[in-house]
Amino acid sequence: MKRLAVILFSILTFAIASFHIVAASVPTFHAVSFNEIAWAGTSTSASDEWIELSNFTDTPISLDGWRIVSSDGSPDILLEGTIPAFGHFLLERTNDDSAPSTADQIYTGSLSNTGERLTLFLPDGQEMDVAGDPDSPWFAGDNVSKRTMERVSPHVEGNVSSSWIDGEINGTPTNSIVDVDNDEYGYSPNIDWAAGDGVGFEQLAEDCDDTRNDVYPDAIEVLDVRDNDCDVEVDEGFTLGLLEYELYFNSDNLYAMAPTTNTNALELALLGLINSAESTIDAAIYGFSRVSIRDALIAAHQRGVEVRIAADYSEYHGSRSWPFDNHSHNFLAAFAERDINGSRTPQFFHDLETAGITIYPSNYVSYLQHNKFLIIDGATVWTGSTNLTDTGFSINMNNALVLKSEYVALAYQIEFDEMVSGKFATAKEDNTPHKFQFDNAFVEIYFSPSDEVESKIVDVMSAAQTNMHFSMFFWTSDVLGDLAVSKYVTEGLRIEGVWDAVGARNAFSEDQKMCDAGIPLKIEIAGGKAHNKFAVFDHAGINPTVVTGSYNWTASGAESNDENIVIISGNTAIAQRYYEEVMYVYNALPDETICGNISAESGIAACSNGRDDDFDFQIDEADSNCAESTVATCTDGIDNDGDDDVDSADLDCWMYYHGTPTNIELIKQASVVEQVDRLLNWMLLSLVVMTSFVIRQDRADRKRTN
């Protein structure tokens, strides 16, 4: 028995020892390795050096943050891009002429002809692979014939000569272009090309979906919510059924005194969408301080809905600079849009994070992520001008558009996914479908700065036949301003519109140019902002058209910010509703506001809200523009501000004499509070004076006694 035990123990010991020997002899496998190196250049030029990496796994691998570093310090390459499954990644020196194939990445720095060691590092600094030995000549290749150094196997270490063999003359450089679906059209995650740009797959146009062999350039487009022919558009040539839509406005905020938490139809509609979500909510948010919306998003997350948020850098971090320079109308507009409780915006984003919701802030400090859209369950889109703030819902005039269409949702989804991938503002591409023909409307969707939104509005305005009506926060685009004036003067296009007082006072605003041409604009005198960014053309014509969205008509809005616009034509009901909204406010404002020089901080509402509405560092009564903007000064029969208008004849008193009964009561209540406050101050002052008198009298009496 003992002998058997000894024999078994000996066998086990031998097996373990043999296992360690075998295990030690198995070479290291490199998921990504150096595959071919043209260290001697090519027969065209000794400077045409290139390096090819290979991926020996069945999964694409991101190379972002990886490095290739030479033992002599040059080259030192920070990699960027993706290497496909079982594919390659081609790096070319200095320019894209070092190899016939298009490079995945260009680098600088030359390879020594006497040999060096290249090391491929992971982002965390770990070594993935090596090629060569700094103390030896290159293991293969030839400087005379220009043969390359080619890898034998990823299972063989790259710092021994047996790992390499002589490659072909000039080598066989291969980039990341692959054809997984075998439809003869190549695809690359790093390279964009047109037919005929290069060799191999580059003789044909680029595939847009390498997982389906029925999707390729010039394929037959079918009705399947897919871009079958790789032209970016989806199901073009088909009518997509009836467009379901909802329109919301809060123009009654013209009479609002101050932000409140009271709900209105616009807010209830958004809450209804959020509460109805079953699978996903993707939201691109600028201002964010509405408790009801925050709580609804958290509740959706808690019931299992995937919620993702793309946010503005400064609204998320709370670090926007003050807009001292009028030329920086991007910052001025940003400040004018911020909530009265702007400091709450970062906190609300962080509240979502605390609840487990992922926030993707923009990485641009000076460019705004200015969208205000939500995508619900990949089928419904909410967009417009409404920031998700107390001011956005309860005091500023805004609009919202709900489009229930998987086609529209697809366009917004592609844009949203691009932002959460880290591409904001000028890093984005024009890669979304734009045009959708429904039974009852033709819809166009564009995003800035990639889609030339200004030129799309130029096209709409140029085609206008009879009239244009608008409600605009900021409009500083000379192109659009000049075109509007030209249409008005030379073609007789009727133009009427409402302009925000802050926007109109901007040094680059187009309102003065239009007023000089005789266009009857009205400047709002409300307590909040005319925050809309929409226009309606030919509302009763054969092709009525509405342009709306988050885009202020400015250069920064078109060229820098993340914005969206929706153009809807051919639907009279939608155009009529937007027209009515313009005229509701336009007709409510007195004729004295036509091309008026009106301060944003004037009038009872603006002069009693505790805010610096015109950004001059003077608030309410401390601002000279508020000299005739209280109940007392609007009912005293005196011209308090020297404008030759008294009480009811003064625009600053318009809210008191023309507001709704509810808001008049608020004004009176504010006046009562003001009067009580003054009375308390007077009583306090009187008490101080009386106390001082009593103290002095007591001292005098003591002197006389002593």
Q: Average pLDDT of each block of 10 consecutive residues along the chain (706 residues)?
A: 44 40 43 96 96 95 96 95 96 93 95 95 95 94 97 87 95 95 95 89 93 93 94 95 97 86 95 98 96 98 98 86 40 49 75 98 94 98 97 95 98 98 95 98 98 98 98 97 98 97 91 97 91 98 98 96 98 98 95 85 73 74 80 83 78 71 48 43 49 50 45
Residue 21 has a pLDDT of 32
SS3 call for 407: helix
* CA gap 688, 684 in Å, rounded: 6
**Whole-angstrom Cα distance, residue 654 to residue 596?**
14
Q: What is the pLDDT of residue 344?
A: 64
Residue 672 confidence (pLDDT): 44
Q: What is the pLDDT of residue 690?
A: 53
Are 476 and 553 contacting, i.e. CB atoms less than 8 angstroms apart? Answer: yes
DSSP state of 606: G
SS3 696: helix
Collapsing DSSP to helix, strand or coil, 621 comes out as helix
Please tell me whether residue 471 adopts helix, strand or coil conformation. Answer: strand
Backbone angles phi, psi at 510, to 5 degrees: -85, 0
Q: Tell me, what's the pLDDT at 704?
A: 44
Chain position carrying tokens 């911020």: 338
The reported pLDDT for the residue numbered 687 is: 55
Query: What pTM was computed for the model?
Result: 0.81
Q: What is the dihedral of CA 484, 490, 495, 501, to 10 degrees?
A: 50
Contact (Cβ atoms closer than 8 angstroms) between residue 398 and residue 384: yes
Q: In degrees rounded to 5, what are phi and psi of residue 486?
A: -60, -45
Residue with tokens 């001008």: 385
Q: How far is Cα 485 from Cα 393, in angstroms, rounded to an integer?
A: 33
